[in-house]
Amino acid sequence: MGYVMLFLWLMILPFCAGGLFCTKKNRISFGGQWLWGQFVLWAVFQIIAVYYILKQGSLEDVIRAYWMITAVIAVGGLALALKLWMDGYKPVHRKTFLWIKEHKALFFVFVALWLIQMLALLFLAVNDGDDAYYMAIASVAESSGNMYTANVYAFGGTELTYRYALAPFPIWIAFLSKISGVHTLVIGHILLGMMLVTMSYVIYAQIGKVLFGDNFRKRIQMLIWVAVLFIWGNTSSHTAESFLLLRSRQGKALVAGLVFPAMIYLLIKIGHCLEQNRKITFREFLLAAVIILTGCLGSTLGGVLVILLWGSGLLFLAIGYKKWTLLPLGMLSIVPGLVFAVIYLSH
């Protein structure tokens, strides 16, 4: 039953929530719908969790609020996607299946490289000292409901450290453990790694779709080389690839492996729209806010850096295409993320 709950929370509900980004003009794949849905749910979790952490509430408070809001978002997203489906706008997966059939060999090379990473996540343990903090935060929250006010290294209580409390990714792990009954370590060390690495590939697949359009051969080739660079990207323990594969349960890995590529994707997508003289919708700016909030969930500094990337990217595009109207909406989308930065700086 525990794994069914995890499947519901990590696959089904994000997929439903991703319906919010489906429009007639923006037909996204199943993978894209799942991916952006999960980003929405992370953004919502960030707001709810930080609210209760600062109020010194418990994990149960977070779970109650998150359940309700997720249900509303998932139902809303599903309704939107179903309405489009009934109007005759099908997701783009059918074309993808045909392409896979046409480029079987390349596709299997990619799957083999992905599988190596999944098996490594399953059978190899990683010794990382920072887990003593991050995973213990999750473990304490799951067992006692206490969020950031217990001394996780030793014994007793401690004052709230804002730097950590404003980036409650470990609390999300605790939440998954609590609702499923699956141990925080199993979620953190195995399942989360599998999910985040897979999501990272989905982001690169989305980027490939914008960069190469219908040229599936190029798209899958790019994914293969991305996988090669992931596996051979361990030039130091500080590269984004090392973080993603070695420390996926730490919020820093979420920022390095998912949030920055997601923001690059969004900028590329906006740039592509500008190139083709297509209208940029409100949804793009909503997605920016969602990605920034997810960055805040992973790390306080990550939130600030992703704002810098978004702001600078948008400014460069505005200058390049003389499209100054991008800037006010872009500024608006950083406001939710800025709130967390202001809270951090004021303490």
Partner 1 sequence: MQDTAFSVWQNISGSGMLLALYVCAVIFLFYTEKETYKRILLVYLPLFWIGVLLLPFTYNVVAEVMDVEVYYRFFWMLPVTLVIAYTAVQVYHMYQGKHRALVALGLTLVMVLSGDFVYNNWRYSKAENAFHVPQTVVELCDMMHAKGREVLALFPEELMQYVRQYDSTICLPYGRNVLVEDWNMNHPLYEMMEAEVVDCDALGEAAVTYHCAYVVLREARETIGDLTASGYVLKGSFGGYQVYYNDEVFHDL
Q: Is 211 in the site for partner 1 (CB under 8 A)?
A: yes
DSSP per residue, 271-321: HHHHHTTPPPPHHHHHHHHHHHHHHHHH-HHHHHHHHHHHHHHHHHHHHHH
Structure tokens at 321: 């295409």
User: For partner 1, which is the closer residue by CB, 69 or 231?
Assistant: 231
The Cα 113–Cα 115 span in angstroms is: 5
346 is a contact residue toward partner 1 (CB under 8 A): no
252 binding partner 1? (CB under 8 A)? yes
Length of the chain (residues): 347
Residue from the set 59, 135, 292, 326 that interacts with partner 1 by CB under 8 A: 135
Query: Within 13 A of 300's CA, how many CA atoms are on the CB side?
Result: 15
Residue from 67, 85, 133, 282 in contact with partner 1 (CB under 8 A) = 133
Closest CA to 288 of 324, 327, 248, 249: 327
Give the x-and-dash track for 81-120 against partner 1 (CB under 8 A). ---------------------------------------x
C-alpha to C-alpha distance for 38 and 49, rounded to whole angstroms:
16
Q: What type of residue is 347?
A: H
- Encoded one letter per residue, x for contact with partner 1 by CB under 8 A and - for no contact, window 155-194 reads xx--------------------------xxxx--xx----
Q: Does 342 bind partner 1 (CB under 8 A)?
A: no
Query: According to the binding rule CB under 8 A, does residue 332 interact with partner 1?
Result: no
- Quick check: 245 binds partner 1 (CB under 8 A)? yes
Select 65 or 263, whichever has its Cβ closest to partner 1. 263
N-to-C CA span, the chain = 42
What are 71's two structure tokens?
Answer: 């249900």
343 binding partner 1? (CB under 8 A): no
* Residue 173 contacts residue 184 (beta carbons within 8 Å): yes
The residue to which tokens 């952490």 are assigned: 53
Choose one: 31-39, 46-54, 60-68, 241-249; the region binding partner 1 (CB under 8 A): 241-249
**Using the rule CB under 8 A, which residue among 29, 58, 198, 239 binds partner 1?**
239
CA pair distance 96, 90, nearest whole angstrom? 12
Contact between 140 and partner 1 (CB under 8 A)?
yes
Distance CA(35)–CA(137), nearest Å, equals: 26
**DSSP-assigned beta bridge partners for residue 150:** 157
- Interface positions, 263-322, toward partner 1 (CB under 8 A): 264, 267-268, 270-272, 274-275, 299, 301-302, 305, 308-309, 312-313, 316-317, 320-321
* 337 binds partner 1 per the rule CB under 8 A: no
Applying CB under 8 A, among 2, 57, 76, 233 the residue interacting with partner 1 is 233
Structure token pair of residue 301: 């500094």
